Structure 1
Amino acid sequence: MTSAQSHRTWLGVTFAIVSGIAFGLSGVAASTLFRYYPLFDALWLSQVRMVSAGLILLLISGFTRQHPFAIWQHWHSARQVIIYGLFGTIPVQFCYFLAVQAGNASIATILQYLGPFAIVAYYILRYRQLPRRSEVVGMILAFIGVALIVTHGQFQSLSISPAVLFWGLMAALGTATNTLLPRPILPKYGVLNCTGWALLIAGTVLNLAHPMWRQSRPPLTLPIVLLVLAIVLVGTVLALALYNISFSYIQPTTASLLNAFEPLSATLFSVLLLGIPFTGFDATGSLLVIVAVMCLTLDLRKYFRLLRRR
C-alpha cells in the first residue's frame, strides 16, 4: 500500500469512527433530555429529529444539485421511499428512543446493534439458506451476551425492564429493515435523497398521528435546545454524512465493522456523563455482542450480493 493509499484508508477509518461516536452521543443526549426534562418523551424527540434532519438533508441535496425531487417522478421509487420511511425509519428511530427513555442509551444501543442478526434471519427464512458456522457461533455469542446484560447472571429474573428489552429488540429489527428497504433505490437517488425523504415522511406520519405542536411541553431553555441540536445536527446529519463519505475511502464492510464505536461511545459517555452503573456482566455481555456482530458483518457481503442479483 502506497503512502497515498494509506492516507486515504486512515481518513476513511477516521470518518467512520467519528460517525459512530456521533451516533452514540445522540443516544446519550436523548437519555440526558429524558432524565432531566421528563416532559419530553420519545415521540416528541423522534418527530423533531426526523422532520428537522430530513429537511436539512434534502436542502443539502438541493444545494449540491442532487435533484431531491427526482425520486417522486417514478411510482416504484416513490413507493419504495414511503415504505422505507414507514417501516425502516420509524422503527429504527422511534423504537430506539423508546428504549433509551425506558432505560439508558448504553443498553438501548447494544440491543439495537443486534440488527445484522435480523438481516441474516430474514435471508435464512426467505431464501432457505442454512447459516454458516461463523453465523451460528455469532448468534450463540450474541445470545449469551444479551442474556448477561439483561439478567446480570441471575437467569431467573431481569436486571432491566421488559420495556427496554422489547423496544431495544424492536430497534434492532428496525435496523435491519432500515438497511434492506432502501437498497433498491440508493444507487440511483443517493443517500441524501433517500434518507432525507424517509425521515421527513416518518416524521410527518408521526405528527399526523399525534401533532407535536399540540403536546404540552415546558419552555425551550438553552440546555434543551443544545441537546436537541446535538441529536439532530451531530447525531443525525453529521453522523450520516461522515459515515457515507467514508465509503469513498474504505470498503462498506470496513465501515460497518467500525460501527462498533457507536455502542462503545454510548456506553462510555453514559458512564462518564450520566453516572450510569456499568457492571462486569454489562461489560462482558456488551463485548460478546460487539464481537459477534463484527464477525457476522464479514459474512453479510454474500447476502447483499444475493440481493443485487435478485
Structure 2
Amino acid sequence: MTNTRDRKRKGILLTLLGGTLWGLCGSCGQFLMQYKSVTSDWLVPWRLTLAGSVILLFLAVTRKTQVLEVWKEPRGRRDILIFSIFGMMLCQYSYFTTIQYSNAGTATVLQYTGPAMILVFLCLKNRRMPKAYELAALFCSMAGTFVLATHGNPAELAIPAQALFWGLAAAVTVVIYNLQPAWLMSRYSTLLTLGWGMLIGGIVLMLLRRPWRIHPVMDGETLLAMCFIVLFGTVCGFYFYLSGVKLVGAGNASVLSCVEPVAATVMSVVWLKVVFQPVDLMGFALVLSAVLIISVNQAREERLMMPEIERRNTDG
C-alpha cells in the first residue's frame, strides 16, 4: 500500500512538473518575442529540430533504442510523416504564433479548447449523442472562448483577430496531435514518436519559413531562454509528463496538466507584466472547467471499467 501511495505521489509530482515546464516554455517564448525581436517563424523550427535531436540521441544512448525502427514499416513511415507535419509542426507553430499576437496565457487557454473538439470528433466518428457531462464541457469551452474573444460584446473582438485564428487553429491541430499517432505510440515508444515528430516537423518548417533569414537579438538572455525552451520546456517537460502518466494514469494526468495554462498566465503577469481583466480570468476559468469536466469523468469511467476488464482477463 505504501509503495502504491509513493508511486502515485511521484506520478503527481512529475505530471505537475511537466505541465509547469510547458507553461514556462510558453512564457519564455513570449519573452523572446516581446524583447528580442524573435518570431514564431524563427523560434519553432529551431525548437523542434533541436529538441527532436536531443530526444532521439537520449533514446539511442541511454536506452539503446533502435531509433530507425519506425522507418522499417510502410505504415510507420506514412504515419510518422503525417504526425510530424499535421500534428507536431502545425500544433507548435500555431501555438507560438498565437503567443506572438497575444500572450502565453491566452494562447495556452485557447489551445486547451482542443479536448472539447476531440470530444465532438469522437461523438461524430462513433455516431453517438454526447453524454450530459460532455454537453456541459462543450458549453463551458464555447462560452469561455466567446468571453475571451469578445469580453461579452459580440460586436467587437477583445483580442487580435490573428490571435483568435491561430489559437483556434492550435486547438484543431491538438485533435490531430492527440488522435493520429495512436498506432505509432502503441507500436513504438511515445518518446520515439515525439522525437521523430519534432525533428521532421522542425526540418520541414525550416524549409518553409527559412529562419536563417531572420535576425533576432542574439545575446546571453536569448541563448539562455532558448536553452530553457529546448531542454527544460520541451525535452524535460515531455519526459516528466509522460513518466507521470505511467504512474497516475492518463485521466488523472489530464486533470493535473491544467497547471500549464495556470503557470503560463502567472508568469505572463508576474514576469512579463501582462494585465488581464476579470472577464479574461472568467474566460480562462470556463475553458479550464471544460477540461476538468472531461478529464474527471473519463478518469471515473476508466476506474469503473477496470473490474470488468480484470474479470474478463480472469475468465479468459
What is the TM-score with the length of structure 1 in the denominator? 0.93
| Per-residue deviation, 1:210 | 3.0
Q: Is the 8 A contact 1:124 1:131 kept in 2?
A: yes
| Per-residue deviation, 1:256 | 1.1
SS of the counterpart of 2:183?
A: coil
Alignment deviations for residues 202-243 of structure 1 (CA, whole Å, 9 cap, x no partner):
111111223222x13145210000111111111100100001
Deviates more, 1:175-184 or 1:289-298: 289-298
Look up the match of 1:61. Answer: 59
1:295 aligns with 2:293: yes
Identity %: 30
Deviates more, 1:147-156 or 1:29-38: 147-156
SS of the counterpart of 1:59?
A: helix
Alignment deviations for residues 249-273 of structure 1 (CA, whole Å, 9 cap, x no partner):
1111111111100001000110000
CA distance in 2, matches of 1:180, 1:121: 13
Q: Is the 8 A contact 1:28 1:269 kept in 2?
A: yes
Look up the match of 2:189. Answer: 190
CA distance in 2, matches of 1:82, 1:140: 34
Look up the match of 2:41. Answer: 43
In the alignment of these two chains, the number of paired residues is 301
Look up the match of 2:152. Answer: 153
| Per-residue deviation, 1:124 | 2.0
Aligned residue identity for 1:3: T
CA distance in 2, matches of 1:199, 1:72: 15
| Per-residue deviation, 1:86 | 0.8
| Per-residue deviation, 1:176 | 1.4
Consecutive unaligned residues of structure 1, counting only runs of 5 or more, are: 306-310
Alignment deviations for residues 171-199 of structure 1 (CA, whole Å, 9 cap, x no partner):
11111111111110112210121011111
Aligned residue identity for 2:10: L
Per the alignment, do residues 24 and 219 of structure 1 end up closer, same or farther by CA in structure 2, a change over 3 Å counting?
A: closer
CA distance in 1, matches of 2:216, 2:84: 29
Q: Is the 8 A contact 1:120 1:300 kept in 2?
A: no
CA distance in 2, matches of 1:154, 1:174: 28
Aligned residue identity for 1:277: V
The alignment's C-alpha RMSD in Å is: 1.6
| Per-residue deviation, 1:57 | 0.6
Q: Is the 8 A contact 2:116 2:290 kept in 1?
A: no
CA distance in 2, matches of 1:216, 1:73: 37
CA distance in 2, matches of 1:247, 1:65: 22
What is the TM-score with the length of structure 2 in the denominator? 0.92
CA distance in 1, matches of 2:171, 2:214: 30
Aligned residue identity for 2:226: V
Deviates more, 1:289-298 or 1:132-141: 289-298
SS of the counterpart of 1:194?
A: helix
1:28 aligns with 2:11: no
CA distance in 2, matches of 1:192, 1:66: 10
CA distance in 1, matches of 2:60, 2:297: 36
Consecutive unaligned residues of structure 2, counting only runs of 5 or more, are: 306-316
